[in-house]
Amino acid sequence: MQLIYKIEDKTIWSNALSQGSYHGAPIDLSDGFIHFSTAQQVCETAARHFAGRDNLIVAAISADMLKPHLKWEISRGGAHFPHFYGVLDMKAVIGTYDLPLDANGNHVFDENIR
């Protein structure tokens, strides 16, 4: 099973869990798709877009459960990023992990993110 990842505020994610679906962050709504990252991309995504922010989670999502609305499109640095054109059914969420900051203000990723 291929996993992709979404970084989100804990409160927003909790609300999505209770509703059973996630419509995306403001940038997702503006762009018309939900931005995801691969395991190889998620650390840089956190550093670029969530620097210094706490109260975050990383959600692991089954890419297979998002077909056919998951598209791999060129983005940052010419890399292909997973973009989901739809509303995320929370049944596709395999797990969530806290994304704390260390003493230097860097995010600390769970060892299960691979």
Quote the tokens at residue 72. Answer: 């791999």
Confidence of residue 94 (pLDDT cuts 50, 70, 90): very high
Give residue 114's pLDDT band: very low, low, confident or very high (50, 70, 90): confident
Judged against a pLDDT cut of 80, whether residue 106 lies above it is answered with yes
Confidence category of residue 25, pLDDT binned at 50, 70, 90: very high
What's the token pair of residue 91?
Answer: 């049944």
- Both tokens of 89, joined, read 């059914």
pLDDT at position 78, please? 87
List of E strands, 17-105: 21-22, 34-35, 56-62, 70-74, 80-84, 88-89, 93-98
Task: Point out which residues pair with 61 in neighbouring strands.
Answer: 4, 93
Angle at 90 between CA 86 and CA 35, to 5 degrees: 45
Ordered domains of the chain (ranges, CATH): 3-98 (3.20.170.20)
Rounded Cα–Cα distance for residues 60 and 37 (Å): 10
Lowest mean pLDDT across 21-25, 62-66, 79-83, 109-113? 109-113
* β-pair partners for 34: 84
How much is the pLDDT for 1?
84
Note the pLDDT tens digit of each residue in 56-90. Answer: 999 999 999 999 999 999 987 888 999 999 999 99
| Overall average pLDDT of the 23-30 stretch | 95
Its pTM stands at 0.94
